[in-house]
Structure 1
Amino acid sequence: MAGRIKEEDIALVRERARIDDVVGSYVTLKNAGGGSLKGLCPFHDEKSPSFNVTPARGFFYCFGCQEGGDVIDFIQKIDQITFHEAVETLASKVGIQLRYEESGAPIQRGPANQRPRLVEAHKVAAEFYVDQLFGAADASLGRQFLDKRGFDRDAAVQFGVGFAPRGGDALIGHLRGRGFTNTELVSSGLAAENQRGLYDRFRGRLMWPIRDASSDVIGFGARRLFDDDKIEAKYLNTPETPIYKKSKVLYGVDLARREIAKGRQAVVVEGYTDVMACHLAGVQTAVATCGTAFGDDHARVLRQLLLDHDQFRGEVIFTFDGDEAGQRAALKAFAGDQAFASQTYVAVEPDGLDPCDLRLQKGDAAVRELIGRRVPLYRFVLGNVLGKYDLDRADTRIDALREAARLVVSIRDKSKVDAFTRELAGQLGMEVDQVRPEVHRAASRPAPQPQANGRPPVTVSTEAPPAPPRADVPSPRDQRFVIEWDVLKVAMQHPALVGVAFDELDDHDFTHPWLVAIRAAMAKAGGPSAAAPGEAWVVAVREAVGNDPAAAVVGALAVDPLRLGREPDEQYALALLARLQELTCARRIADLKSKLQRTNPIDKADDYNRMFGELIALEAYRADLRKKAITGAI
């Protein structure tokens, strides 16, 4: 084992490894005056920057968590390695060949001390894969894959795309020839081991090198090409290793880092080819996660690059597919929205194309326009929530309001709640005064218990709305159903009074499912106009209901006294029917007004004018029904 590193070499590492360059590969630093730089601390979460770097003195210090030191201390803390290992890591970056003391206590090398060797192994592997892509005969399928997606040789070289040979030990042999040990090959994740020995982890796949912010290759993403590939997963990524942690890695961050800091914008896409397409199209702030969902650690990386705090807000733009999986990803992203001070957006192509396919079919400008058409993440999620409901129905519109109200009150900037309440009212086709009380109720409900990260979770459902619970037996005292109940009581107890007029009613005139079932059963039994006298009519309706739960209320309708106080007559019965139809008409009017509010009178002039004419006719019909209802004094 090697002895201690010579002191003069340690001093040379401190001199050559500029602290602003090293720290700047992890954190965006801004001029703070007086020769100091400032950024968000990488060692603790903070909303305002308190992490300072002074290049002239080669020192950093955080006033928030009191972490500080020189460039070697920074690498020690950020990579959680020993002093000896940090010196070796920095030496490899700045090209210093370290010398070791022959005397003195030897330095124990732990797993983390492998970093320089593992990074070097990945560098050699990346070069090997690139050579294979353009030189190996069996790599033709990989070249075709890139060509079909609009990526030429220059694009492949720019992003370091390569090809892993189909044989089981081609890379192993190459790395062994460069002096790497079996232990290093397995630790790097480039090789795996079974009972027969080592074998290449990646075989017959198109390879994307995954680099950290300092441009070191630390892993690979591998795309399946051959149908006989024994590993069925379309993408295979490097496993967790001492240098590769998928929850903290963003593909393309090495290329996008400076543009993210400069433009205060980060675009999060879903795949390697999407990153390539975006960068080639001019969206040079694009990054992607590597085989895992966007999480808190990814957000932390972006915040440090964006210098994300309240005084310097940027943009984080997510691109999602328009399918169900993309909608779930958007909801998950919104749940983590509180991690950012920056405004979060979503960019979704209406045709459902991802950036790669969009560039291929419509060109570079279309990709730039996709990002330019971004909409706030809140609005996208709201549209997703409302899209689960039939807004043409009054009952489901109320359900949509209740879920959307929880979304409104969960937004980060509480000063926007009233504006979003008005926006929600417009999308629902309701008056603001109808929406605002539900938003206030949602805000007054007890807040969910915070997660481990200290932020309350966003309780936005990612599933379809649950089926409403089965209602209780309708009561004549329940104002929601009292007219419907009274109509069916008259039809059950005095069928001759309603006669053929009852036949004009349909399911839309009743709002409770059990009452809908009983009206249908009466029609099935021949209708009140053909009802047999006495108990026979009740029995006929009961049999027509069958096993439906509504059978439980047939007897109640038959015996419940009318609230009239006298024997009913035909005038009363017809007035009751008119009142029921008036309520139905009122619901239709409300629905139509809602549709009108949601219809653009310019873009859809024909539809708007047709609905407006229908609204006028319905208002006149409602007035006529009201007159009939009043004459019966019900």
Structure 2
Amino acid sequence: MVGRIHPDDIAEVRERARIDDIIGTYVTLKKAGGGSQKGLCPFHDEKTPSFQVTPSRGFFYCFGCGEGGDVITFLQKIDNLSFTEAVERLADKTGIQLRYTEDDPGVRAERGQRMRILEANAAAAEWFAAQLRGPEALQARQFLDQRGFDRAAAERFGVGYAPRGGRELGTYLRGKGFSEPDLQAAGLVRNKGWDFFNGRLLWPIRDSGSSVLGFGGRRLYDDDRLPAKYINTPETPVYKKSHVLYGLDLARQAIGKQSQAVVVEGYTDVMAAHLSGVETAVASCGTAFGDDHARVLQRLMGNHDSFHGEVIFTFDGDAAGQKAALKVFSGDKNFISQTYVAIEPTGLDPCDLRLQHGPAAVRELVARRIPLYRFVMGNVIAGFDLDRAEGRTAAMRAAAPLVSSIRDVSLVNGYARELAGMIGLDVEEVRREVGRAASRHTEPAPEPAEEHERPPELSLLPDPTDRALSVERGTCQLLVQQPELFSPSWEELQGSDFTHPAYAALFSAVKATDATGRGGEDWLVRLRTHLGEGPAAAALEHLIASLAVQPLLSTPDQKYVQAYAAKLRLLSTVRAIADLKSKLQRTNPVDQQTAYNQMFADLLVLENRRKDLQARSVGIDS
């Protein structure tokens, strides 16, 4: 295959690309003991973290959905990349110059389209930013200046300008070696060769890892043939508007540290918020904030506890803002964190607020946030005539379901009391109505972890919680994590000591890998090369990943490994004794004297072995 990456370079990428750093751009990880870190799985929805990363071994594994592997596997799965694309992206991040087994000019053409699109977007972002400094971009610079953004601010956010000529970008990128199909696939060029963006102020939209996914463009000229004030990159293999958030690359770390995300409505609002000290601000791009956006923020906040952290939406105080808040309320179940709204009474957005009243006013806007429930409740009540008894009763009945749906039950009584005060009714009457609403309110039970869609090969794996297999699993865990502590004979272990086929197959792979050297930083990489092909091999890859990230019960040494292996062999010996005793009971000592005597002698040998192994396994609990 033309352009195959040199194996030594792949090994160097695995070694230098820290898996916790890479995964940390998608998921907030917290220490979990034993050198491991935990977070909310990015591959399935969950509220309790079952996703585990062990940096020392370079592996991740989710005990909820079964996804697992190394840093290359993670990028392949999370961004839908080929193996080559994932390695190339990691090489770019770590500064590794990749070598290809055949240095052919066509190597670039052989790379995956997604990687080529990202490269084209990155080149376009640099070119757009350079155009902003040119004479034609005067009106674009004036637009920024009028909104309080100087050159330093524009450079910080990578703001650029698309010239009015209509073909300049395409000409530039073709000269850099990008093909016409790739430029069209990236949404940078239209079918007939015209640039997608013309005469527009541009903001690059990046993912949490700072890769440019697309652009958002603002209208500058009255004679622009496209009447829309804002246009965005069309849907591409890398740009999905329901998944991307502008400013996520800048806000990611602050969101994780502060367990807070501030959702504003536009590009300039994000800029104003960050420049005002609100470093957790992001905005949706060309679409309303939705479920997928919520899941992205939830993972970054790492909300392991039900009511930890907060998402704050900034809305105008007008009818449109109220409508937007109600829409967010309908999707609030997607957040583990508490949800708030920050309303500016004068109707100013964060950009105008900073411009007219300074950065402190933006920070105060966020600080004045109120719970989403309270805001929505006030809007519902506002539709009734509270001067009339029937109006107050109707308002209570309309608002009671909102109070009953509050996830934090400790707040329900407080909100019932607040509702009673707002509409002028007795608090006990309101509480009764809230109770009736709660009894009518039925919410589907959360989907159990085992019902999440799991890779089909996982059906071949043993249950990690099966107590009958705990010693086999613990032994395999030591074989994966600490192979150098075993004796040259692997403590006399045999494949038959493992009752589950997956554990037995893993042991066979361990012995085969031993021929190329035991242990070392590349032990797991070499181990995976001895798994074969097909569903069984894929299942063993999952098994290795789960064993690699699972913390050991005790700090292992050679004595501990010997005792653990003795425990496994003891269980195997006990099974052999039971089988032999069963045969003896079915053997006539008179008619089959020779066979009977041989089995009896074998039984004595097994009993002596059992006593020896029992003594050597002291201190190991099954």
State the TM-score, normalizing by the size of structure 2. Answer: 0.69
| 1:75 matches 2:70 | no
Q: Structure 2: how far apart are the matches of 1:387 and 1:453?
A: 40
- Give the whole-Å Cα distance in 1 for the aligned partners of 2:397 and 2:140: 51
Task: Give a deviation string over 1:541-586, Cα, whole Å, max 9, x none.
Answer: xxxxxxxxxxxxxxxxxxxxxxxxxxxxxxxxxxxxxxxxxxxxxx
Q: Which of 306, 309, 316 is the matching residue for 1:314?
A: 309
Give 1:289's aligned residue.
284
Q: CA deviation at 1:102?
A: 4.2
Aligned AA for 1:333? V
- Aligned-partner Cα distance in 2 for 1:141–1:95: 38
User: Cα 1:67–1:302, aligned 2, differ >3 Å: closer, same or farther?
Assistant: same
Alpha carbons 1:309, 1:342 under 8 Å: kept: no
Q: 1:198 aligns with which of 182, 193, 198?
A: 193
Q: Distance in 2 between matches of 1:424 and 1:4?
A: 67
My pick for the range that moved more, 325-334 or 277-286, is 325-334
Query: Residue 144 of structure 1 aligns with which residue?
Result: 142
Q: 1:227 to 1:450 in 2, by over 3 A?
A: farther
Equivalent pair of 2:392/2:424 in contact (CA under 8 Å): no
Residues 1:348 and 2:343 aligned together: yes
C-alpha contact 2:307 2:338 (8 A) present in aligned 1: no
* Correspondences of 1:168-179 after superposition (within 5 Å): 168-179=166-177
2:370 match: 375
SS of residue paired to 2:140: helix
Query: 2:15 and 2:447 mapped to 1: Cα distance?
Result: 41
Compared with structure 1, are the counterparts of its residues 381 and 446 closer, same or farther at alpha carbon in structure 2 (3 Å cutoff)? closer
1:41-120 correspondence to structure 2 within 5 Å = 41-102=41-102, 113-120=112-119
Question: Residue deviations 1:100-152, cap 9 Å, x none?
Answer: 3349xx99989x92222211211111111111111132x11111111111111
Corresponding residue to 1:227 among 213, 222, 227: 222
Matched residues in 2 for 1:339 and 1:309: separation? 14
Cα shift at 1:87: 1.9
Are the counterparts in 1 of residues 219 and 229 from structure 2 also a CA contact under 8 Å? yes
CA contact (8 A) 2:37 2:52 kept: yes
Structure 2 CA distance for partners of 1:202 and 1:108, relative to 1, 3 Å: closer
Q: Please, which runs of 5 or more residues in structure 2 have no aligned partner?
A: 450-622
Tell me which residue corresponds to 1:165.
Answer: 163
Higher relative contact order (CA 8 A, sep 6+): 2
Pick the aligned partner of 1:437 from 424, 432, 445. Answer: 432
Q: 1:366 aligns with which of 346, 361, 384?
A: 361
2:237 counterpart SS class = coil
Counterpart in the other structure of 1:496: none
- 8 Å CA contact retained: 1:267, 1:316: yes
Deviates more, 1:388-397 or 1:320-329: 388-397
In structure 2, the partner of 1:5 is: 5
Measured at CA, do residues 452 and 233 of structure 1 come closer, stay the same or move farther in structure 2, by a change above 3 Å?
farther
The alpha-carbon deviation at position 3 of structure 1 amounts to: 4.5
**Equivalent AA in structure 2 for residue 308 of structure 1:** N
How many angstroms apart in 2 are the aligned matches of 1:198 and 1:334? 44
2:492 corresponding residue in structure 1:
none
* Among candidates 385, 390, 393, match of residue 390 of structure 1: 385
**Aligned partners of 1:63 and 1:274: how far apart in 2?**
39
In structure 1, distance between residues paired with 2:447 and 2:135: 50
Query: What residue in structure 1 maps to residue 298 of structure 2?
Result: 303
Distance in 2 between the 1:32 and 1:439 partners?
Answer: 40
Ranges of 4+ aligned residues in structure 1 off by more than 6 Å: 106-110, 448-454
Deviates more, 1:285-294 or 1:428-437: 428-437
The aligned length equals 447
- Please say if residues 308 and 314 of structure 1, whose CA atoms lie closer than 8 Å, have aligned partners that are also in contact: yes
Provide closer, same or farther for how the CA distance between residues 108 and 92 of structure 1 changes in structure 2, counting only shifts above 3 A.
Answer: closer
Is the 1:36–1:53 contact (alpha carbons within 8 Å) kept by the matching residues of 2?
yes
- 2:171 partner letter: G
Q: CA deviation at 1:415?
A: 3.0
- Once the 2 structures are TM-superposed, how far is the Cα of residue 190 of structure 1 from its aligned partner? 0.8
Cross-structure match for 1:133: 132
Quote how far apart the aligned CAs of 1:12 are.
Answer: 1.7
How far apart, CA to CA, are the structure 1 residues paired with 2:222 and 2:387?
Answer: 48
3-state SS of 1:348 partner = strand
2: CA distance, partners of 1:92 / 1:433: 64
Q: For residues 449 and 303 of structure 1, what CA distance do their matches in structure 2 show?
A: 21
Q: Which residue of 1 aligns with 2:154?
A: 156
Change (3 A) 1:288 1:453: farther
Write out aligned runs for 1:247-286 (5 A). Answer: 247-286=242-281
Distance 1:129 1:136 in 2: 13
1:30 matches 2:25: no
Q: Is the 8 A contact 1:92 1:116 kept in 2?
A: no
Q: State the structure with more CA Rg.
A: 1
Aligned position for 2:120: 121
* 1:335 paired residue among 323, 330, 336: 330
CA distance in 2: counterparts of 1:169 and 1:108, whole angstroms = 24
Asked if the contact 1:204/1:224 (under 8 Å) is kept, the reply is: yes
User: What's the RMSD between the two structures over aligned residues?
Assistant: 2.3
Distance, in Å, in 2 between the alignment partners of 1:3 and 1:176 is 22
Find the aligned partners of 1:3 and 1:173 in 2 and give their Cα distance: 27
The alignment's TM-score, normalised by the length of structure 1, stands at 0.67
CA contact (8 A) 2:188 2:195 kept: yes
Summarize the alignment of residues 175-190 of structure 1 with structure 2, pairs less than 5 Å apart. 175-190=173-188
1:156-194 Cα shifts (integer Å, max 9, x gaps):
11111111101110100111111111011001111111x
Counterpart pick for 2:442 among 443, 447, 450: 447
Give the whole-Å Cα distance in 2 for the aligned partners of 1:386 and 1:109.
Answer: 62
SS in 2 for 1:344: strand
Q: For residue 416 of structure 2, what is the aligned residue in structure 1?
A: 421
1:561-576 equivalent positions in 2, closer than 5 A: none
Distance change (3 Å), C-alpha of 1:317 and 1:379: same
* Structure 1 unaligned residues grouped into runs of 5+: 455-634
Kindly indicate whether the alpha-carbon contact (under 8 Å) linking 1:89 and 1:115 is maintained by their aligned counterparts in 2: no
CA–CA separation in structure 2 for the residues paired with 1:117 and 1:316: 35
Superposition pairs for residues 501-580 of structure 1, below 5 Å? none
Equivalent position SS for 2:65: coil
- Native 8 Å contact 2:306 2:337 kept in 1: no
Q: Give the 3-state SS of the residue equivalent to 1:52 in structure 2.
A: strand
Q: CA deviation at 1:226?
A: 0.8
Distance 1:81 1:453, change over 3 A: farther
* Maintained 8 Å contact 1:308/1:340: no
